[in-house]
Structure 1
Amino acid sequence: MPSVLLDPNLPAGPPQRPLLRKPLFRRIRTPLLCALIALFLSGCGSNPVKTSVRPKPPDTSLARIEVNDAGREIVMYALGLLDVGYVFGGKNPEAGLDCSGMVSFIYHNAIGLKLAGSAADMARKGRPVARDALQAGDLVFFNTMNKSFSHVGIYIGDDKFIHAPSSKGKIRIESIKTKYFATRYEAGRSYFAG
């Protein structure tokens, strides 16, 4: 049997593990793994960033509508904003639009015409058009707040218009012939050459 030399400074008994701490990786492994999983899961649940507003397929009942080129551009642009949320004073689709903000945004982006101000301001500047002579892209005005020209929409033809109503909160198509709008209709205006 080989002889073993014992160090008199060591304690008797089985060898003891040195009192060193765990390696750094082993100490942070579990918290790091939890943080990475949480980060991954939060990315999966976030809403995608909207980069552009895409047009929806047009309603088949709109196929009968005849329009000039500028009116067509306005209507097509307006159709692309269906279901965008309503925000009082809103001027862009990302944040939301109100009625005059919607009209201003569409006219500017579709045909390069800047219309500013409230619905009443737009009514004062446009050329009057009889209801039976409205063309796609013309503006239609309503008294919805016991105030003249308090609401505006874009006429798309076939007695229909697109607007940003505060009720139900999304841009949508309505008929001028519904009881609500028929009794509140005030005027049509055009910004096209007559």
Structure 2
Amino acid sequence: MKLPLSLLALIFALFMSSAYAAPVSADEAALAAEQADPIARFAQSSGEEAVGDLLLQAMSLLGVAYRFGGNSPTSGLDCSGFIKYVFEKSLKVNLPRTSAEMAKVGRAIDRGDLVPGDLVFFDTRGFRNSHVGIYLGGNKFIHSPRTGKTIEVANMGQSYWAGRYNGARRVQRGAN
């Protein structure tokens, strides 16, 4: 008697789902957790190392899809969801959810005083601070731009961004 291939696949899948796996050791569990989130072990850093960890976490998300209202790398991130996620993961800093609310946190920074890790704000939707990114240095920032795009590095000197720049804020590392 011949069974259809799809029926054989279903039987195999049911069999495999009931198969017993050996218990996982604490070391294996820690390794699996680190592989799932390799940046988490740096979360308790401070000073320059903390900023490095922040930027590393942000860069690890390059290519993640934009999704309006998104707050998870698996389902997509909008600009403020991206910033909130990175600050929580790397620095354990809980920022507000929207870019306009983020623009009230920390202290204002002049453009000439920007350092990596500062938040940079832009008017992309007809009102101040409607977009946010993380300054990387060298006039570059990382952000989640818009529907159909992914997290990317952009140049603040490009005419689009230069004309829409609203200011910057420095968030206290390790605050909250």
TM range (shorter): 0.7 to 0.9
Identity of aligned residues (%): 37
Normalising by structure 2, report the TM-score: 0.74
Question: Which of the residues 150, 155, 158 maps onto 1:170?
Answer: 150
Give the aligned residue type for 1:102: F
Question: Which of the residues 4, 22, 30 maps onto 2:3?
Answer: 30
Counterparts in 2 of 1:118-133, with a 5 A limit?
A: 118-133=98-113
In the alignment of these two chains, the number of paired residues is 144
Counterparts in 2 of 1:56-95, with a 5 A limit?
A: 68-95=48-75
Normalising by structure 1, report the TM-score: 0.68
Aligned to 2:78: 98
Q: Which segments of 5 or more consecutive residues in structure 2 lack a partner in the other structure?
A: 13-34, 40-46
**Matches of 1:159 and 1:36 in 2, distance apart?**
58
2:128 equivalent to 1:148: yes
**Matches of 1:192 and 1:73 in 2, distance apart?**
15
Larger Rg: 1
Regions of 4+ moved over 3 Å: 37-40, 51-55
Question: Which of the residues 127, 138, 146 maps onto 2:118?
Answer: 138
Greater RCO, 1 or 2 (C-alpha within 8 Å, sep 6+): 2
**Matches of 1:140 and 1:34 in 2, distance apart?**
53
Q: 1:80 to 1:163 in 2, by over 3 A?
A: same
**Matches of 1:88 and 1:54 in 2, distance apart?**
26
**Matches of 1:52 and 1:81 in 2, distance apart?**
13
Instruction: Give the RMSD, CA atoms, in angstroms.
Output: 2.2
C-alpha deviation, 1:126, in angstroms: 2.3
